[in-house]
Amino acid sequence: MGSNEKPCRNCEALRAQLEQKEAIVDKYQKIVQSQNELLQDLTQKSPYTSGSSRKQSENFGHFGTSSSYDLNNKVTAPKTRGKQVSKSCRAFIGSITDGIDKETLKKCLEDAFGAVENIDMIPSKACAFADFATQTAYHAAVSEGAVCCTGIALSVERVRRPKPRR
């Protein structure tokens, strides 16, 4: 009977590990589902939509806007300052080499994530800025964090806005 106990313990340990892995996978799937729902909400709701029940403190992330709120904490009319809100789909692309031109980069990004409206290349800094057509494409690119273009891994990051000068 002693020889039968060892496989049982191994089986129990393996079963426990499998249950842990399944629990982790379940949690991951819930996270992915929540992310997809949030992305869907972002693409369906424009920052210009009136009647939103968001509180003023939750209105961060819309660069260049300030909104008015009525007595019920509803957004009434955002006002734009400086650059338009459409730049919120702008991503930084790093590690650009001389062999990657604007069209090649655009095709790589569109194949991997979705439509790209515009690309601003800065060869002297070995980087570029891409304006994605949709929030979904933008979030997919930033979440992935990289794209392979002509065999070279390029970083994809959120644009960090410079702090205002005083």
Q: What is the rounded distance in angstroms from the CA atom of residue 26 to the CA atom of residue 37?
A: 16
Tell me: the pLDDT tens digits for 83-138? Answer: 443 558 999 999 999 999 999 999 999 999 999 999 999 999 999 999 999 999 99
The Cβ-side half-sphere exposure at 127, using a 13 Å CA radius, reads 10
Instruction: Report the candidate in 72, 63, 156 with the shortest Cα–Cα distance to residue 108.
Output: 156
Q: pTM (2 decimals)?
A: 0.48
